[in-house]
């Protein structure tokens, strides 16, 4: 039904194999097998490229906006308006020697950030950036994405534990506590969205919003809860306790340098990208725009990315404005404020359904 990115890649790969196959005698038997795996490779490479480019733009966007918020200019010398500054920083980190502390557990030390980055990028395979334009258009894509999203504390904890450093360990502990605590309001605010659509398919959710209006209007409370919970989930200021610079040197990534540090940094920004994507997909109508603006070819992707950058701009705005909360305040906000509000939000969504909100995909009761 849904024309996925995979099927496009598959068509291309089959075409390529059809051209190249006759040149290699006896390769016909492996044709279908090769086509499938090469298509997965192409899709994976595309998702990886999209995420990397987006992360570069995110970091540039953050530097420029933070500069403006702080009455300065941000990166501006490398490339046009500093666009290539992040590339230069990445190259510098890439050229550094990988090392591990003497007392560290090497297996976990190298595994932790790598798995953190890989699991973060894997989520992007399930998030469509335009209709059907995702790695795998599974019917439960939202559920899969959120499930993979909650894997991060495990790998962060592995990384912090094997670094064999007090700061890392405290940062890892805090990460675990914070991410587990805020997972609950995050998921509960998603429940309200699912109640209004009756589907876990992100394509369907966006399609419903295109038909009925963005969920940011009826579920404004859910949007606020989801936004705050997402701020905590991606460990950004004011919820950056896991890497509170004043208390813990760099939090759970204290012992990392070179490319491994780049992995942690990249993982953070990929998660911020996923957070922005999810907010746009669930509440801001995804790639749909009113007045048929997104009906032009590829305009859906453009509008989707623009919305994502706008959402991330609010992340940056919050970062530039607010001070870091204390641990007790963090947990109080999570358990005493967000959780009851999320419940109220669910009841409100169910009340909307009962009062006749046009739910399209509910199975017949």
Partner 1 sequence: MVQVHEKTVKKADPPEDRVKGMVVYPMAIVARQFVKSLWRPSTILYPFGERLENEDFRKTVKVESGAPIGVGEIWDNYRGVHGLNIKTCISCNLCAFSCPDTCIEMVNTDAGGGKTKKCPEIDYGKCSFCGFCSDACPEGCLTMTPGYTITTNDRAHMVYSPQRLFEVYKAKLSQNPTRIALPENEDVILLDQDLCIGCNACARDCPTKCITMIDIPKPESKPGEKLPKRIWKEPTVNDPECVRCGTCISVCPRECLYWGARK
Distance in angstroms (rounded) separating the CA atoms of residues 265 and 55: 10
Q: Is 115 helix (H, G, I), strand (E, B) or coil?
A: helix
Closer to partner 1 by Cβ: residue 224 or 350? 224
Is the separation of the CB atoms in 33 and 54 below 8 Å?
no
Q: How far is the CB of 73 from partner 1 (least distance, A)?
A: 7
CA distance 185 to 243: 22
* Shortest reach from residue 194's CB to partner 1, in Å: 29
Segment interacting with partner 1 (CB under 8 A) among 62-70, 137-145, 184-192, 351-359: 62-70
Closest to partner 1 by CB, 24 vs 310, is 310
Find the distance separating the first CA and the last CA of the chain, reported in whole Å: 25
Query: Least distance from C-beta 90 to partner 1, angstroms?
Result: 25
Separation CA 24–CA 10 (nearest Å):
20
72 binds partner 1 (CB under 8 A): yes
Which of residues 96 and 337 has its CB atom nearest to partner 1 in the complex?
A: 337
8 Å CB contact between 125 and 43: yes
Write the DSSP string, 270-322. HHHHHHHHHHHHHHS-TT--GGGGGGSTTHHHHHHHHHHHHHHHHHHHHHHHP
Rounded CA-CA distance 28/17 in Å is 9
Q: How far is the CB of 326 from partner 1 (least distance, A)?
A: 12
Q: From 4-12, 51-59, 64-72, 95-103, give the range in contact with partner 1 by CB under 8 A.
A: 64-72
Q: Which of 322, 347, 351, 360 binds partner 1 (CB under 8 A)?
A: 322
Is 320 one of the binding residues for partner 1 (CB under 8 A)? yes
**By CB under 8 A, residue 317 contacts partner 1:** yes
Q: To the nearest whole angstrom, how small is the minimum distance from the Cβ of residue 320 to partner 1?
A: 5
Residue 323 engages partner 1 in binding (rule: CB under 8 A): yes
Interaction site with partner 1 (CB under 8 A) = 65, 68-73, 76, 317-318, 320-323
């Amino acid at each position: 039904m849904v024309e996925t990115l995979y099927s496009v890649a598959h068509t291309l790969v089959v075409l390529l194999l059809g051209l190249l196959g006759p040149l290699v005698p006896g390769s016909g038997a492996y044709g279908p097998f090769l086509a499938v795996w090469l298509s997965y490779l192409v899709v994976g490479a595309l998702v990886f490229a999209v995420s990397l480019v987006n992360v570069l733009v995110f970091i540039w966007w953050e530097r420029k906006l933070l500069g403006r918020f702080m009455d300065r200019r941000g990166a501006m010398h490398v490339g046009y308006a500093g666009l290539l500054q992040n590339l230069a920083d990445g190259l510098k980190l890439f050229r550094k020697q990988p090392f591990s502390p003497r007392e560290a557990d090497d297996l976990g030390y190298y595994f932790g950030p790598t798995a953190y980055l890989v699991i973060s990028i894997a989520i992007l395979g399930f998030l469509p950036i335009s209709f059907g334009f995702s790695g795998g258009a599974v019917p439960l894509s939202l559920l899969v994405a959120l499930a993979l999203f909650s894997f991060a504390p495990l790998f962060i904890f592995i990384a912090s534990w094997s670094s064999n450093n007090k700061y890392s360990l405290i940062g890892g502990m805090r990460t675990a506590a914070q991410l587990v605590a805020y997972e609950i309001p995050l998921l509960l605010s998603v429940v309200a969205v699912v109640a209004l659509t009756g589907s876990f398919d992100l394509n369907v959710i966006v399609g419903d919003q295109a038909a009925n209006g963005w969920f940011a209007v009826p579920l404004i409370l859910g949007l606020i809860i989801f936004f705050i919970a997402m701020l905590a989930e991606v460990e950004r200021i004011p919820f950056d306790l896991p890497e509170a610079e004043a208390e813990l040197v760099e939090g759970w990534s204290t012992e990392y340098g070179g490319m491994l540090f780049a992995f942690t940094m990249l993982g953070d920004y990929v998660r911020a990208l996923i957070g922005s994507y999810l907010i746009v997909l669930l509440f801001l109508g995804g790639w749909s725009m009113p007045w048929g603006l997104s009906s032009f070819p590829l305009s859906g992707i453009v509008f989707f990315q623009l919305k994502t950058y706008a959402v991330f701009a609010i992340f940056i705005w919050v970062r530039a404005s607010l001070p870091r909360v204390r641990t007790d305040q963090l947990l109080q906000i999570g358990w005493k404020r967000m959780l009851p509000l999320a419940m109220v939000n669910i009841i409100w969504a169910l009340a909307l359904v009962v009062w006749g909100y046009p739910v399209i995909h509910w199975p017949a009761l």
